Structure 1
Amino acid sequence: MDDRKGSITMSSLLQLTLSALKKRLADRPSIQIQQESGYVTEVRFLFNAPALEWELVKFEETNQLFLPKDYKEFLLMHNGAKLFIDEKSGASFEVLSISEIQEDHQSLDYPEGWYPIAYGLESSVLVMNLNEINPHKRSNEYLFWLEPGESIEHATPLSMNFEIFLERFIISQGVEYWNWPAYKARHFYKANDLED
């Protein structure tokens, strides 16, 4: 029997993912990662203090919505975070706090039920569509990726929730894995200007 499958039933995928990452960071301020095209660098992670339950209740009441179960769990662990902070390139992935989400939603005029929750490279945005979620289930697919300058109608559906997104993002060492095309080998070399 695979012990990993049994452990997910005792802890959420979110808890397992963050716990494993924090173990890797326990005795050092940064970790070395390898990304696409052989890029190797040291990265840091900063996790905010937990959100308070009343802050989440106020957000839900003010906006007349329910936050997804897994995302709410993250906010109660860390009310925002900076992930894969790369001093060499200046890049990072910023998960917004609940107050930043509210501010950005109002100032950027998102449609009803759509909220920015994180910023990636070059002002790309991870957004959630809360219009059709079940607040009692973890299996909602509410995340979308919005490239700079695109309208919300052109956001790319990621077909996942936050805890799955975060686990895969950490496993892929901070790269935009959802943009990886399913190339055949010959197409990969051509698309990346590599010698075949």
Structure 2
Amino acid sequence: MNNSIKALKKILSVNEQILLTSPDGETVPHVCSFKPPATDEEINLLETTTGFKLPEDYRNFLKTCNGCSLFDHHLYGGEAQLHGIQEIIERYHKVDIKNVIQVAWIYQDIIVIDIDKVKAGEKEYLFLKESTIFYQPGRNLFCDFETWLERFISTNGSKYWDWKTEPKRMYYS
């Protein structure tokens, strides 16, 4: 986990921006911002509030940074927020669903940790909930937080979980 964040910070350390290519081919600066690491006391508060022990990879993320904003357009901002502990607690209290915690808001998608999956010892505990239909079952992302974050960073903040592959077409003459 730390390696993905460290690599991103290293890229940003040169001029605090990362150049990304937009769909129209333009190269555009983007920025990332990281909150200071969470303390053990803050992590314990989150676990006490939710009533469950966090997965180790997510704990490591919080110890690296207590939330961050990734790949924001340098002028227009963005919608890739990985929540800090205080925001997670606030969101936990606002919803009636108590078997998930919301850990990120990515372009109107909500990334959640399924508490029941974690308690059962399952490694694939991350789910996607669409903001417009939050109370319906989420879509399994088939990974843990560390894998999701590595993929999100390596795709420069793309919603890779929505990528579709086209079937190969055979053309006959």
Q: Does 1:26 align with 2:13?
A: yes
Equivalent-residue separation in structure 2 for 1:114 and 1:37 (angstroms)? 37
Structure 1 residue 118, shift from structure 2 partner: 0.8
Structure 1 residue 58, shift from structure 2 partner: 2.0
Q: Which residue of 2 aligns with 1:73?
A: 60
Aligned partner of residue 43 in structure 1, secondary structure: strand
Equivalent-residue separation in structure 1 for 2:5 and 2:166 (angstroms)? 31
Structure 1 residue 59, shift from structure 2 partner: 1.7
Q: Does 1:144 align with 2:127?
A: yes
How many residues are matched? Answer: 169
Equivalent-residue separation in structure 2 for 1:165 and 1:49 (angstroms)? 21
Structure 2 contact 20–29 (Cα < 8 Å) conserved: yes
Equivalent-residue separation in structure 1 for 2:101 and 2:24 (angstroms)? 33
Structure 2 contact 117–124 (Cα < 8 Å) conserved: no
Q: Does 1:82 align with 2:69?
A: yes
- Structure 1 pair 110–33 and aligned structure 2 pair: CA distance change class (3 A): farther
Paired letter, 1:127: V
What pairs up with 1:8-47 in 2 under 5 angstroms? 14-36=1-23, 38=25, 40-47=27-34
What pairs up with 1:107-122 in 2 under 5 angstroms? 107=94, 109-121=95-107
Q: Which residue of 1 aligns with 2:165?
A: 182
Question: Tell me, which stretches of 5 or more residues in structure 1 are unaligned?
Answer: 1-13, 187-196
Q: Which residue of 2 aligns with 1:95?
A: 82
Structure 2 contact 92–98 (Cα < 8 Å) conserved: no
1:101-134: CA deviation from partner (whole Å, max 9, x where unpaired)? 0101111x1412211111111x321111111315
Structure 1 contact 86–92 (Cα < 8 Å) conserved: no
Structure 1 residue 77, shift from structure 2 partner: 1.0
Superposition TM-score, scaled by structure 2 size: 0.88
Identity %: 28
State which of 150, 153, 164 in structure 2 corresponds to 1:170.
153
Superposition TM-score, scaled by structure 1 size: 0.78
Equivalent-residue separation in structure 2 for 1:71 and 1:103 (angstroms)? 18
Aligned partner of residue 75 in structure 1, secondary structure: helix
1:77-102: CA deviation from partner (whole Å, max 9, x where unpaired)? 10000000113443230010111001
State which of 27, 52, 62 in structure 1 corresponds to 2:49.
62
Structure 1 residue 52, shift from structure 2 partner: 0.7
What root-mean-square deviation, in Å, do the aligned CA atoms of Structure 1 and Structure 2 show? Answer: 2.0
